[in-house]
Amino acid sequence: MLCSQMVTFCGYSIPHPSEARVNIRVQTTGDPAREVLKEACQNLMLMCRHVRCTFDKAVEDFKARNAVKAMKIDSQDSSGDDSEESE
């Protein structure tokens, strides 16, 4: 939320650690603060989705790369060729 251009002040405080309560203070340059907070939450949600997509793709790529490497090593072992560095 700090990064949004409409926000002049924003902060949070936790009055007591035993009770689950957070006070958030938002001060904006004219727009309603509630909308700014909502927009920040929506941005965070979109960021999370992007993180998830990127992470899943990276894990798939890694697994595919390792599967290929394992197959190459297997074929080298079975055919008994002279050692050749894979990649």
Residues that bind another protein in the complex, under the rule CB under 8 A? 2-5, 7, 34, 37-38, 41-52, 54-59, 61-63, 66
Give how far Cα 49 sits from Cα of 11, 41, 42, 46, 63, Å.
25, 12, 11, 5, 21
Closer CB to another protein, residue 45 or residue 71? 45
Decide whether 20 or 82 has the Cβ nearer to another protein.
20
Hey, what amino acid is at 56?
Answer: D
Task: Give the nearest distance from C-beta 72 to another protein in angstroms.
Answer: 18
3/11 Cα distance (integer angstroms): 13
Query: Residue 4 CB, nearest distance to another protein (Å)?
Result: 6
Give 78's Cβ-side CA count (13 Å radius).
6
Strand stretches in the chain, DSSP E: 7-13, 23-28
For another protein, the closer CB: 37 or 76: 37
Q: How far is the CB of 6 from another protein (least distance, A)?
A: 9
